[in-house]
Structure 1
Amino acid sequence: MGNWDWQVFCKNTLDGEVVSGCFGKDGDITYLDWLLSAWGWTLSVAALALIVALAIGSLMGILRTTPDKRLVLLGNVWTELFRNIPLLVQIFLWYHVIPAILTPLRDVPSFVLVVLALGFFTSARIAEQVKAGIQSLPRGQSYAGLAMGLTLPQTYRFVLLPMAFRIVIPPLTSESMNIIKNSSVAFAVSIAEMTMFAMQAQEETSRGIEIYLAVTGLYFVSAFAVNRVMMFVENRVRVPGTYGGK
């Protein structure tokens, strides 16, 4: 450890001089500034992709449990398509192939394309979890809602989904943590997130141990924070009668 140089984060990225206070001034940036900026990009990609994944994944999971075979087919096609193609390949498809086919996407920032790719990839996994949550409920609940005069959409909204989402919070916790880690593939299309920072900063400073340890620590802190928040939510909304419920 004596050979480690943690002052690398206080160095100016232009001339390598140590900056007092570790934060750059007058337009100059230190490696610490760069790292924190990269962390922000990582969290932004992950948060927006999670919103996309929850919205589309929930919809597809619901469609796969409806009586309409056409909607079931649509949900199944979506799920199988996006979960059976590697994420990195999907990133490249969105960045290189799809804009060549859909020309309006040529002007879309790569940040947006990465969010869509990661969101769609994760939505397939969430669709499977939402489907399992709905199917784990007794059929009597659906019949009871319909018998009370509710329409099928109302039965889903007021009877099935409130219970199903409470059941699937544990796997959603894992997906929320995974999406932070999976955001690292954004470096492949030059998004300035933490993995790209680590690669470039290590090349410039030759301090790979310090750089990669710091990045690893921030990934851990981010995922752990999500885990704690989701566990708090799970404890607050746990279904009575289940393990740990009241």
Structure 2
Amino acid sequence: MGLKRPTGEGLARTVAAATGHAFHDLRLLETALTHSSAVKAVSNNERLEFLGDRVLGLVVAEMLFRLFPDAPEGEIAPRFNALVDARTCSEIGVEIGLEDLVRADAALKARSRGSGGNYLADAVEALIAAIYLDGGLDAARGFVLRYWEPRSRMAVAKPRNPKSELQEWIAKTSDARPQYAIEKREGPDHQPVFTVSVKVKGFDPSFGEGGSRRAAEEAAATAFLRREGVWAEQEEGDSA
């Protein structure tokens, strides 16, 4: 069992050490770190997540504009997309120890322990918004630069899009279009699991699962591309 989750001033001190911002509004901080799945939660961080996503995008775009003054848009756009991606936010959430600070359903946290998860990415974006509201843009910028700037200098390749690549591969030989359909939806509302099929005339269907319809469609397209030998097993995660 881990240590009891800090609250109030204790939570503020822990967050200040990780982010560099000392919160004045402790209720705002608590809201930022409360997921919609938390038992008996009066409020959650969904609205803050919406705002934080926009603040993160602004600061990261400004950062890349400054760091790569001679780079064309086509070069910095993939970096931007990778840096604001939920996977990056989730990794940073793990790095700063938010797993022990976020209020969320215990089963949800247990399934994602050590590997992040969407709930943790949401919390990072909500925390950015809370810092922005509590301390202004400079405070939010300081937090973002602290964790995102080192990552910005890493080589970033444009993430592969399995749905687009499947459509392009099929278009080489026919005018057929992939047809995606939800086969089933399981799990609670805050952590759904979608199973999606993709059907193409002349081929057997392929199936994929994901925490959203889009993720399940991408998984199904990936399965199709792998089965037909278009993608090798390691290609899905290639990023060099």
Both proteins in one fold, TM over 0.5? no
> Normalising by structure 1, what TM-score?
0.29
Larger Rg: 1
Structure with the larger helix share: 1
Structure with the larger strand share: 2
Q: Which has the higher contact order (CA 8 A, sep 6+)?
A: 1
